[in-house]
Amino acid sequence: MYKIKSHVVMTTTEDYIENYVDVPKFLGYCKKCDSYGRNWSCPEFNFDAEGLWKKYKYVYIIGTKIIFDKDMINSIEDKDSVKKQMEEALLREKKVLAEKVWKLEENYPGGISLSAGSCKLCPKCQRQMDKPCIYPDKMRYSIESIGGDVGKTLSKLLGIELQWAKDGKLPEYYTLVSGFLTNSKDVTIEI
């Protein structure tokens, strides 16, 4: 199977915006994705993405490594099985992470969590039917959807290099990145 290892780092949003946020650049990448304009957690938005960062003083970044067992990596050798294993692990761990970051919102009122990737709460996002989000109290934006550079964040702030499945093999690990925007400097995150 796999094990989980998480790392947390905090910086000011002023530093983060200056060094890690580039809304036009990442909007360009989002436009090439199938979810663009088809999921309420993805661009395009009816608000200023950089303005969302600026509402808060601090950003806590949580990097969660899903570390696959060597036996598991060696036993799976076709692309479809790799994709299935990755999707199952990611979906399961995304749910666990979502519960943790929603809890932060309860414990530190006024803050808002940043989800690991796009919202997957519904089998098909209501945006595709031109209907409003049905869980606006739960849906959250990801770091990348509002212009954050996840790869740079991981490598520079957390010392983790992104890995991907390749040549029909699971990567050694896959990393989910979530976060918490807040005006509180003393947030305790249990990982």
The site for ligand SF4 (CB under 6 A) is made up of: 39-41, 119, 121-122, 125-127, 133-135, 139
Token pair in block for residue 131: 């209907």
Nearer to ligand SF4, 44 or 172 (CB): 44
User: Cβ of residue 92: shortest distance to ligand SF4, in angstroms?
Assistant: 17
Nearer to ligand SF4, 41 or 178 (CB): 41
DSSP-H helix ranges across 49-173: 49-54, 70-75, 79-107, 150-152
Separation of alpha carbons 40 and 9, rounded Å: 27
Contact 2, 69 (CB under 8 A): yes
Nearer to ligand SF4, 65 or 94 (CB): 94
Separation of alpha carbons 53 and 147, rounded Å: 10
User: Cβ of residue 5: shortest distance to ligand SF4, in angstroms?
Assistant: 27
User: Cβ of residue 81: shortest distance to ligand SF4, in angstroms?
Assistant: 27
